[in-house]
Every structure is written in structure tokens, then in C-alpha cells.
Structure 1
Amino acid sequence: MDSSLVKDNPLLLPLNAERTVYDGFVTVQRLQQSADLVTFLLELKTVLEVGLKSRPECSSIPPPQYYSQLIAEMETLGWNKLLFIDTELRTLRLKAEDSSGRQHILTIKLKSKHPAEAPECSADLPLPLATTWTPQSTLQQLHDQFLVVLESLTEFWDVLEEVDGNTWILEPEKPSRSDTMRRIAIGNNVSIKVEVDPRHPKMLPECCLLGAEHVVTPLRNKLNANMHLWNPDSSVLRNLRDVLEIEFPSPATHEKSDFSTECGICYSYRLEAAIPDQVCNDPRCVQPFHQACLYEWLRALPSSRQSFSTVFGECPYCSKPITVKMSAQTS
């Protein structure tokens, strides 16, 4: 409709991105066939409505009762909980606070037949947001369900906040509420990656030690030998200290630059979202590399060989044997 409208009326200009409001002049070709101006305007209105109904994005415009229902529900919920609403009154962002004072946002996308149709809900959570909805449900009930979910995850966030506040987190750079993984610095080019279960945050998490083998092997042996000492009644950070028999460097005693050694190939610390996680195993070298950089480097050398997903070659710095596994992104 837009193209034909502009073609037939070149003096009309759209005033919004949706092309629903125009300004300008039209050539009144059918005015002579109309009895008066009122008759012409009624015919013009009919033509425009037919054209609008043929546009799929306009076919789901909510009826008037949708808006009265939405306003009534917001009055009950409280306008102070509304952070954002779009111009179509379809997408809302509601704020919520858990018992520890953390602020959260619930994004709701209402359907045109609200409340007969269930809305789409999303939030920054480590688990899928499961809600129940009936044609009699309201935004207040949806918000209450969200608060219940937040309370069930309070211990999970408490655990990670203790880790974040008392260790140097290498990854993710800026943790979100949905992140369950933390890569914690142990020393220069040595770290541990832990994956905390949101449903059981104080249980032994999945652990992966990263670094040169001569440093990682003793730590891995301690982890395997002391795993039975894990105490679910204690914090994850205290348990990691006890099981690994180490003290983690903290922001109070160390600078992050102590653990931010650049990649030996691209000479940068952060490559998009990745940081160096491959290290030469020679104790005299221990040069770190990004996995993608090392893989591309070794693949370009005629002396390198590949077996399944592992590439074997020489360290670019000390020429000692080095291997790298292909990740899903590089393969």
C-alpha cells in the first residue's frame, strides 16, 4: 500500500517510521464524483481502512478494552513498579526487588487479546522463567510469581556475590544475573573455572583447572583427593579454599593486571569475549595464548599435525611441543 500511495500522491510525505501518518497534498480526482466534501472524506476513510487491514502488522491492533484492562491492572500493581512501556503499550518492563535488596527486571510482551492470551515473559535469570497464566490472570499475579522465582535463587546469587567480592574474576568480564560460570584467578596464568548449579548452589560445582600442566596437576590432585571434604553447609569460596588448600588472590591484595597477561600471538588480552586460556607447559616458558590464535598459528605451520580435534605443534616462543583442541567456534 505504501508504494502505491506515494506513487499516486508524490506530494505526500510520511511523518513516522510506521508510515501511518502523512502530511502534504493529494489530487482529488474523485471529488467530482462525490456529492460533497463529506461524502468524499467518508469514501477516503473507507479506502484507507481497507488498505490498513491488509497490512499484517496492523491486523493485530488490540481492541479498546485491551487498554482499559491494562490501565486497571497497572493501577492494582502500582505505577511505581513500571520502568518502561513502549509506544504501542505492548511491551512492559517491571522492576522487582528480592529479599537481599537486589534489583531485577521482568520484561512482559502482551498479546493483542490480553488477558485471554498468555504474555511472553523474560528476565535475566540462570534458569528458564516458568510462569502460569489463565484468562483470569493479572499482571499483579505475574509479578508475584516472579518474586517467588527470585526468592528461590537468592542463595545462588549470595554464593556468587561472595566469590565476586573476594576473588579476581577473569570471566565473565561483567557477570550478569544469569551467569552461572566464574573463572577465578589462582596465580599468573593459572585459574579455575567453576559452574555453579542454581538449584543447588552450595553443592560441589563443576570445576576445570586451566594453566600449565606442571602447575595444574598438583592442584587437580588436591581437588580429587579432598573432594570428600566438601561441606554443603559452608560457602563455595571457603570450600574451594579448603579443597584446593590455597588462598585466592583478592582485590585487597592484588591488582587484576597481575593475572591479565597478553596473548603471545595477537598481543592482546581480550579477543572479542575470550581471554588467553592456553599455556605452554614448559616451566621456563608458560606463555599464554588465546585458543583461537594458537589454533590458527599451528594450523598454518607445515610441521604441525592434527589428530581428530587436537592439533600438535611447537610453541611459537620456546619451540617446545604444544597442543590445542579445536573448539566449536573454530572447527
Structure 2
Amino acid sequence: MNDIVIDMMLKYPSILPVNPQYTEFQGYLTINGIDYKLHIKQQLEKQQFQLTVDSPLQQFKDDIVNLECSSKSSNIVTFLDSLKEIISLKTTIQNNKNFTDAYKHILSEYVELREFYININKCSISQDLSLIKISHLDESDRQHELEIIVDVNKLQEIFKVHRHSLPEKEDGDLFQNSNSLKTIYEKFVSTIERLQYFFNSMDSLDHTCHILDPERPTTKDCYRRIGLDLTVSMVITLNPWNDACIPSIKFLGPGRSVDGFRQKVAENLINWQANANILDELLKLLELSSFPAKLKDKDKKDEILLCDVGECCICFSLRLNDKLPEIVCQNASCEQFFHKECLYQWLVSVNAKQSFNELNGQCPNCEKHISCPL
């Protein structure tokens, strides 16, 4: 081992020889805080070096070629010195960030949040300080969840709400990024308090009515599909951000069965009382004394059917992609239910005719006219 090789190994310890002749080396060259992988081979007959580099160094390809051509009579150390100087002039120093202050701020905010707000049900932080989970109980002991992610790479507004259990707002995000956990939590609590009428209304529907959809209602869901009888259901959608807003109501079922309900809604909607008990208002609207309880198997039709009442007549299941059948054949002797996706695929397969925004064809059960919106 000659002096030049010893000098190179002392100056560039991350680059090692790969053959006993010390004419070929590979390893990493550190420049401005970045490690570049390279392979160097000395071509003795040409008295110059051949350099093979990884992709980050390809941007300096022209400079490397010029250096290879001008490396005659130079040694490996001189060649590496020149290479390092060229790249160093064209790159910036990468400073390793110190996150100590950010971590101190995160822990300080977290400890202060837990100690100051005694109404927090649960509060936890991940080991890497990147995720904070908060659970809050409202005045009716409903549990509401909040997840906050932490971005230590940002100098400001490092806390961002990642997930929450509240209904979404159409006109923008509920929460703004902040440097303060208290600010986000106070916004969370005040929003929950504002939504109490909405939560109470949905709870009263869930406890009293036969809810077909969602299958497992959450505090984020703004609608309920309520079974009114074996063939008719009502979809009611509330605006959680405006208690005075009249709910959106849609009936699903055979035309002859839903026409009566639609007529009652049209006549009685003018008497709707905002902020009143939603169950009472719906009963008055539909001219009912009570909502039917969840239908039991013994209440269904006695005939042996290929599919149960309410199930899709094509796929023979109640839910498809978590959706219930919403199209009903209007033939009074049929009145079978269909998922929109199932009926669409059926009509396409039999070359149904398209008219404006719907497909028109024959019902797969009774072969009478049926249409499917596009």
C-alpha cells in the first residue's frame, strides 16, 4: 500500500479499494452534508480515472466528463479533491434540523391541555409525538373523537386536525391549523355544543324509528333512511349547521305507495316548526300517530320468495357497496327493488335505450317498463 492510497483512506474513509492493485475504489463521498455513491476505476493505459455515479450526481455529468479528461498524471486524492470542489460549488449546505424546540413545544401544549381541561374524557399522544387523540363527552354522554397530527417541519401552525367525528361543513374546513392545542380543542368543544339539536334529533330518530340506512349511524351522518312499511321508506337529511332549515325529505318505493306520503308533505310542510322536536314534526307532517318499529321476519309476506322484501332482485342482497336498493319497479304486480348499479348493468347488457339522463328498458322480473338514472 503506497502513500497515496493511505492518504486517500485517511481523507476519504468512506471510499474503499475493491481490488488488491488499488486501482478501483467505491464508496460514498460526502459533500455539503449529502452522501453521494460512486465507483472509481483508474485506467493505467490512459493515465486517467473513470467515474461511475448514482442518479443524484447525474446532474453534474458534463463536469465529471471534463474532470475525467483532465485527470491525466493526477492521483486518486487529487481527483477526489477536484470532484468535491466542483460539486461543492454547485450545491448548498444541508443543515440537519434541530427539532428540540419543536418537541418541547408539543409536550408543553399537551401537558397544559390535559391539566387545564378537566372535561376531556381521554387524551393520548404517540411515542414519536406525531399524533394526538382526544375524546370528549357532550352533555348527553355522546362520545366525540378528534385526531391531531403534528408537523415538526413547519415553523408555525404545527397542529393540524387529521380526523374528527363531527359532520362535515360544505363551505370549508371546520378547523384551522394552529400552534395551540387549546385553540383547536376549544373550537372542537364549541362546535359540539352548537350541534346539540342536530345530535339530539338524530338520536331520537335512531331510538324510535326503523333505520334502514346508515347501517351503523355515527355522529358524522346527516341523513337517515326510515322504513315506513314493507315497500316504502323515507330519506330525511338534516342541515346540522342550521337548526331552522327544513329537512330534505325523499320517499323511495312504488309510485302508487309513495304518492300519498308526498301529497301529505306538500300540504303540511307549511306548518313545520323549526327547532321543535323532530319526531313530533315528522309525525304531523306525515299524519301518523307513530313510526313503525323495526319489521320482524314474521311481519313479512308469507310467500316463499327468491329474495326478501327490500332486497335487490338482481344480486339478491340488501347492500351493495354499503348502499341499499333505491329503484322500484312501478308495475303494481311486481314492485321489486333494485340497486342502481345492478339495474344499470342489466339494462346495458340488454341494449336498453338511453333517453336524456336515463336508461329505459324492461324490468328483469316482470318485463314491464323500468328506467334507471345515469
Using the size of structure 1 for normalisation, the TM-score is 0.75
1:268-309 C-alpha deviation (Å, 9 max, x unpaired)? 11112111111111222111111111121122224x321012
Among candidates 267, 271, 274, match of residue 229 of structure 1: 271
Q: Which residue of 2 aligns with 1:21?
A: none
Q: Which residue of 2 aligns with 1:278?
A: 327
Q: Does residue 110 of the first structure (1) align with residue 150 of the second (2)?
A: yes
Q: Does residue 50 of the first structure (1) align with residue 26 of the second (2)?
A: no
Q: Does residue 120 of the first structure (1) align with residue 120 of the second (2)?
A: no
Q: Which residue of 2 aligns with 1:89?
A: 129
Among candidates 109, 133, 138, match of residue 73 of structure 1: 109
Q: Which residue of 2 aligns with 1:240?
A: 282
Give, in angstroms, the shift of residue 144 of structure 1.
1.7
Among candidates 176, 183, 205, match of residue 141 of structure 1: 183
Query: Structure 2: 5+ residue runs without aligned partners?
Result: 14-26, 37-55, 57-93, 301-307
Q: Distance in 2 between matches of 1:52 and 1:197?
A: 56
Q: List aligned pairs for 1:143-292, cutoff 5 A.
A: 143-201=185-243, 203-246=245-288, 247-251=290-294, 254-255=295-296, 261-292=310-341
Q: Which residue of 1 aligns with 2:9?
A: 33
**Number of equivalences:** 285
Q: Which residue of 2 aligns with 1:64?
A: 100
Q: In terms of mean alpha carbon deviation, does 118-127 or 103-112 score higher? A: 118-127
Give, in angstroms, the shift of residue 81 of structure 1.
5.9
Which amino acid is the alignment partner of residue 230 of structure 2? Answer: N
8 Å contact from structure 2 (residues 329, 337) kept in 1: yes
Q: Secondary structure at the match of 2:324?
A: coil
Structure number with larger C-alpha Rg: 2
Q: Distance in 2 between matches of 1:115 and 1:145?
A: 22
Q: Secondary structure at the match of 2:323?
A: coil
Q: Which residue of 2 aligns with 1:315?
A: 363
Give, in angstroms, the shift of residue 226 of structure 1.
0.8
Which amino acid is the alignment partner of residue 245 of structure 1? Answer: E
Q: Distance in 1 between matches of 2:96 and 2:138?
A: 36
8 Å contact from structure 1 (residues 66, 112) kept in 2: yes
8 Å contact from structure 2 (residues 244, 274) kept in 1: yes
8 Å contact from structure 1 (residues 159, 202) kept in 2: no
Superposed CA RMSD in Å reads 3.5
Q: Which residue of 2 aligns with 1:8?
A: none
Q: Distance in 1 between matches of 2:320 and 2:95?
A: 46
Q: Distance in 1 between matches of 2:193 and 2:6?
A: 66
CA gap of 1:295–1:159, structure 2 versus 1, over 3 A, is same
8 Å contact from structure 2 (residues 160, 176) kept in 1: no
CA gap of 1:61–1:277, structure 2 versus 1, over 3 A, is farther
